Amino acid sequence: MNNQNRKKSILVAIKQTLKMHPVIIVFLALVVIFGSIYPGSFFSPINFKAILRQFVTLTLFALGPSFVVLTGRLDLSYVGIWMLGGTLVWLLKPILGMFSIIMIPVTGIATGLFIGVIQTKAKIPSFILTLSLLVTYTGVAALIAGGYPRAVDGYGFITAPLIRLIPSTFIWSIPVIIAAVFLMKCTRMCVYLNAIGSNEEGARLAGINVDKYKILAFMLSGVFTGIGAIILFQHLGGSAQVELKLNNIVWPLVAIVLGGTPLTGGSGGPQRTLLGAITFTIFYRGLYLSPLHPTMITLLVGIVLIVAIIISARGLKGVTVT
């Protein structure tokens, strides 16, 4: 009888999990589909390593902005922080040596604080503000670097092999991921950010310091982006980039929305972004193995983003964060 109750409890828990996180079903379906079509290539060690590398890139760009999206705002500054921070590392390395790498998280923290204060006090739409800052950072980075990427040596230890078949960047990212999930699952901040995203005026009436937590959300976005960008700095070439690529902006948003954090806020968080990132990575790697032209893959990615936004807006509205 106990075994039957245990099995029943497990089935109920699985059903509730799948209902709360339908992206898991999509993930499993994609693995089965692509694994059946391309069994040799999809399950190969090379593709496994490529999946982990792309998952890390998506996750470290998307974790920070997930906090902001919870409040119903949007933060697009993550790519700008990575680009400008990397350029400052190149510029200051002759002066600060290896310690110049701290310029990336410093740029992230300063950016988050700036955006948070301006957005809450001046009431400028976060999309316009962060997009403008992204473009500005791109221009400043290009100006400092002279218009082309600048290689920065000395940080190869970030990508030095530690475990066979496991990218070192994945291992470095684990503490960052744990920290983000801990903040959402084990602190009151989770409740406050969701309350602000669900009903900002109601949260204010309930005694929540709305402006304080909105600024905190942007600062957390900057902190996690800055720390993540240190890992990605060497992972993405070890050079200060000055070219703004659309994929670097759009794909993290796809991961956030696909994971179940609606852009209107009120539910979701970094833990769901992880599911979105791995699901999108499986989807993209499966398409990459197909004979489809890259432009067709880009089109399909855009369609996925549109569908994910529609589904999250209709199906996850009012769902309690987990």
Domains in the chain: boundaries: 23-315
**Is 90 exceeded by the pLDDT of residue 40?**
no
Distance between CA 236 and CA 228 in Å, rounded?
12
User: 110 φ, ψ to 5°?
Assistant: -65, -40
Structure tokens at 289: 């193995």
Q: What is the DSSP string of 130-196?
A: HHHHHHHHHHHHHHHHTTS-EE--S-GGGTS--BTTB-HHHHHHHHHHHHHHHHHHSSTHHHHHHHH
Q: What is the arithmetic mean of pLDDT over 289-311?
A: 81
Distance between CA 12 and CA 18 in Å, rounded?
10
**Is 60 exceeded by the pLDDT of residue 205?**
yes
Which of 81, 123, 64 is closest to 261 using CA atoms?
A: 64
**CB neighbour burial string for 76-93, b if at least 16 within 10 angstroms, e if fewer:** bbbbbbbbbbbbbbbbeb
**Is 80 exceeded by the pLDDT of residue 149?**
yes
**Is 70 exceeded by the pLDDT of residue 311?**
no
Q: With cut-offs at 50, 70 and 90, classify the pLDDT of residue 317.
A: very low
Indicate the CATH number for domain 23-315.
1.10.3470
What is the tens place of the pLDDT at every residue in 228-261? 999 888 887 778 888 888 888 888 988 998 888 8
Helix residue ranges per DSSP H, the chain: 2-20, 23-37, 39-42, 45-70, 78-96, 103-122, 126-145, 168-185, 189-198, 200-205, 210-235, 246-258, 270-289, 294-315
Residue 312 confidence (pLDDT): 62
Residue 260 confidence (pLDDT): 84
Integer angstrom CA distances of residue 179 from 186, 220, 271: 10, 11, 11
Sign, CA dihedral 13-14-16-20, equals positive
**Is 60 exceeded by the pLDDT of residue 314?**
no
The pLDDT > 90 percentage for the chain reads 48
Q: What is the arithmetic mean of pLDDT over 101-111?
A: 94
Integer angstrom CA distances of residue 320 from 20, 110, 117, 195, 288: 9, 31, 28, 10, 35
The pLDDT > 70 percentage for the chain reads 95
SS3 at position 239: strand
| Mean pLDDT over each residue of the chain, to the nearest integer | 87
Could you tell me whether strands 239-240 and 150-151 are parallel, antiparallel, or unpaired per DSSP bridges?
Answer: antiparallel
Residue 64 confidence (pLDDT): 93
**Is 70 exceeded by the pLDDT of residue 162?**
yes
**Is 70 exceeded by the pLDDT of residue 124?**
yes
Higher pLDDT, 108 or 24: 108
What is the tens place of the pLDDT at every residue in 2-37? 667 677 777 777 777 777 777 888 899 999 999 999
Which of 243, 245, 246, 267 is closest to 256 using CA atoms?
A: 267
Q: What is the arithmetic mean of pLDDT over 48-71?
A: 93
**Is 50 exceeded by the pLDDT of residue 319?**
no
Higher pLDDT, 189 or 61: 61
Residue 83 confidence (pLDDT): 92
Distance between CA 12 and CA 179 in Å, rounded?
29
Q: CB within 8 A of 94, min separation 6: which ones?
A: none
Integer angstrom CA distances of residue 229 from 78, 87, 121, 179: 9, 12, 28, 15
CA 175 to chain centre: 15
Residue 279 confidence (pLDDT): 93
Terminal-residue alpha carbon distance, the chain: 31
Q: With cut-offs at 50, 70 and 90, classify the pLDDT of residue 313.
A: low
Residue 2 confidence (pLDDT): 65
Answering whether pTM is above 0.75, one says yes
Residue 39 confidence (pLDDT): 86
**Is 70 exceeded by the pLDDT of residue 79?**
yes
Distance between CA 321 and CA 316 in Å, rounded?
10
Higher pLDDT, 171 or 301: 171
Residue 316 confidence (pLDDT): 46
Q: What is the arithmetic mean of pLDDT over 167-176?
A: 92
Higher pLDDT, 310 or 207: 207
Distance between CA 69 and CA 285 in Å, rounded?
26
